Amino acid sequence: MKVDIDTGLLNNRVMANDIRLSTNQLNLYYGDFQALRNITLDIPERAITAIIGPSGCGKSTFLRVFNRMNDLITGVRIEGRVELDGIDIYDKEIDVVELRKRVGMVFQKPNPFPMSVFENVAYGPKRHGIKNRIELENIVERSLRQAALWDEVEDKLSQSALALSGGQQQRLCIARVLAVEPEVILMDEPCSALDPVATLRIEDLMRTLAENYTIVIVTHNMQQAARASDMAAFLMMEDDRAGTLVEYGPTAEIFTNPKDKRTEDYITGRFG
């Protein structure tokens, strides 16, 4: 669904009861360096939310807050609250493995495992305990169909995933995520390594997936954000290089009628 612009926004809070993810007064530090400052926003479900901003402003770091991938880096510290369906995902009781099953992630560079196409998609379900071959085959076919890849790889399931083209590899990575039935899919510049045709295919796919999934995408590409997203968050570095949220709202608003001068400068290509 499209987020209705007329539902209105108040302090970056979506005034609707369909919030999937939210952050409140989020600060993130790498050791002494503050990478994100005071970010508060709500991400609606079954919609595509784009995070845009110049290089180094903390877009990827912000995205990785939602599946706690930053935990892998030593010295990362978080203040504030991050919620998935109203539950604090940084609470001590939260199982990170379970969280990442619900909040999947697709990376900048397609990273299929050096195994067959089938094994790539079946990897997650297998690790989560599904052993039945027929069940696995069903999951693999369903996930590949969802990722709009089935027709191209139907007869190549046992071949190495590394033999696929870049665009196919990225859709395979999306299928790999879909196979564990997440609720949210995070995408970190998923098209930056792809050619324009492959990029458009991924965007089409995102639109279809948004009917059932909550998608958050980091992108460098203004056109992509304008074309493919429902909501857009513009992040920028402050003087001390900490990323802050400049403006957040429905994509149409941000691109046609930005409230902040810096947003306007950025989307019209005056800097960044």
* Residue 44 or 182 with smaller CB distance to another protein: 182
Site string for another protein, 164-193 (x = CB under 8 A): ---------x--xx-xx-x-----------
Give the nearer residue to another protein in terms of CB position, either 102 or 227: 102
CB 178 within 8 A of CB 146: yes
- Restricting to residues 49-68, which ones interact with another protein according to CB under 8 A? 67
Using CB under 8 A, which of 2, 77, 127, 259 touches another protein?
127
- The minimum distance between CB 113 and another protein, in angstroms, equals 6
* Tokens linked to 52: 């845009």
Which token pair is 174? 């999306």
Please report how close the Cβ of residue 218 comes to another protein at its closest, in angstroms: 14
CB of 145 to another protein, least distance (A): 18
Residue 141 · residue 124 · CB < 8 Å: no
Q: Which positions from 97 to 126 touch another protein by CB under 8 A, shown as an x/- string?
A: xxxxxx-xx-x-x-xxxx--------xx--
- Is residue 150 at the binding interface for another protein, with CB under 8 A as the rule? no
* Partners of 103 in the β-ladder: 184
Beta strands in 31-183 (DSSP E): 33-44, 48-52, 76-84, 87-88, 103-106
Residue 254 binds another protein, judged by CB under 8 A: no
Amino acid code (one letter) for 190: P
Q: Does 74 bind another protein (CB under 8 A)?
A: yes
Considering CB under 8 A, how many residues would be counted as binding another protein?
A: 31
Closest CA to 47 of 157, 152, 235, 183: 183
Using rule CB under 8 A, residue 30 touches another protein = no
Told to check if 162 binds another protein by CB under 8 A, we report yes
Sheet strands (E) in 56-99: 76-84, 87-88
- Per CB under 8 A, does 160 bind another protein? yes
Angle of helix 166-178 relative to helix 196-209, nearest 10 degrees, comes to 20
Spatial CA neighbour of 229 closest among 237, 238, 219 = 219
What type of residue is 72? L
CA distances from 56 to 59, 83, 261 (A): 7, 24, 20
Minimum CB distance to another protein smaller for 15 or for 73: 73
Among the listed residues 6, 11, 72, 133, the single contact to another protein using CB under 8 A = 72
Among the listed residues 212, 201, 208, the one whose alpha carbon sits nearest the alpha carbon of residue 172: 201
State the minimum distance, in angstroms, from the CB of residue 49 to another protein: 18
Binding interface with another protein (CB under 8 A): 67, 69, 72, 74, 97-102, 104-105, 107, 109, 111-114, 123-124, 127-128, 160, 162-163, 173, 176-177, 179-180, 182
